[in-house]
């Protein structure tokens, strides 16, 4: 027999999944609490028992995305037999790849209010894991400035790709190549492979 707590957790999971689907299909405007309830197969009022409002639900989607990306970056670092440069390239491509696969979610992650405690914690978790990979290449002392440069560059690459302004026919280079160039430049500057 399912307990109330288990049922509530299952409902919340279904609501988050439904909101994620709606976000992917139509962006934040498509995510309403009533639509989420209908998509999840629960009463249209059920979401209000789990989320204060739409902003709270969207923040939860961003938190989940930050945490998932942090887990992916941790797996990148743990991969055996890879060089620091290869790990850094893979970590950066994980961020850009999320933008390519789920553009609305990617945009949501970077538009969630910076003072939302859960989102700040999840984004910090990713940042810390990413900085470990950066430090593997440039050392602890330089990890933060290089990390900021790399993260902002990856975000710029993703944004330009999403808006169609990084077309290979225009620049003769794509996002993957730009990431390799960035990592190569930093590797050369840091004197590590």
| pLDDT 10s digits, 172-181 | 999 999 999 9
CATH of the domain spanning 1-51: 1.10.10
CATH of the domain spanning 54-190: 1.10.357.10
For the chain, the straight-line distance linking the first and the last C-alpha, in angstroms and rounded, comes to: 56
Backbone angles phi, psi at 101, to 5 degrees: -80, -40
**Residue ranges, CATH 1.10.10, the chain:** 1-51
Tell me: pLDDT of 191 over 70: no
* Segment 20-30 mean pLDDT: 98
∠ CA 61-66-69, rounded to 5°:
125
* Segment 18-37 mean pLDDT: 97
Provide the pLDDT confidence category of residue 2 given band limits of 50, 70 and 90.
confident
**Residue ranges, CATH 1.10.357.10, the chain:** 54-190
Q: Give pLDDT, residue 101.
A: 97
> What mean pLDDT value characterizes the chain?
93
Taking the whole predicted model, whether its pTM rises above 0.85 is answered as yes
- For tokens 């990390």, the residue is 147
d(CA 31, CA 21): 9
Give the model confidence (pLDDT) of 64-123 as tens digits. Answer: 999 999 999 999 999 998 999 999 999 999 999 999 999 999 999 999 877 889 999 999
Name the nearest CA neighbour of 67 among 128, 125, 154: 125
Q: Give pLDDT, residue 181.
A: 96
């Amino acid at each position: 027999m399912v307990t109330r707590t288990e049922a509530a957790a299952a409902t919340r999971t279904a609501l988050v999944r439904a909101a994620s689907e709606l976000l992917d299909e139509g962006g934040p405007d498509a995510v309403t609490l009533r639509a989420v309830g209908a998509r999840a197969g629960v009463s249209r009022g059920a979401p209000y028992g789990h989320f204060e409002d739409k902003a709270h639900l969207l923040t939860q989607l961003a938190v989940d995305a930050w945490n998932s990306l942090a887990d992916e970056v941790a797996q990148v670092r743990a991969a055996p037999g890879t060089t620091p440069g290869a790990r850094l390239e893979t970590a950066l491509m994980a961020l850009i790849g999320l933008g390519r696969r789920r553009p609305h979610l990617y945009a949501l992650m970077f538009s969630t209010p910076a003072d939302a405690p859960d989102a700040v914690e999840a984004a910090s978790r990713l940042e810390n894991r990413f900085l470990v990979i950066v430090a593997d290449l440039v050392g602890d002392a330089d990890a933060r400035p290089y990390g900021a440069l790399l993260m902002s560059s990856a975000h710029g690459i993703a944004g330009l790709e999403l808006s169609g302004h990084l077309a290979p026919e225009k620049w003769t280079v794509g996002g993957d190549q730009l990431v390799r160039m960035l990592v190569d430049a930093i590797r050369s500057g840091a004197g590590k492979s």
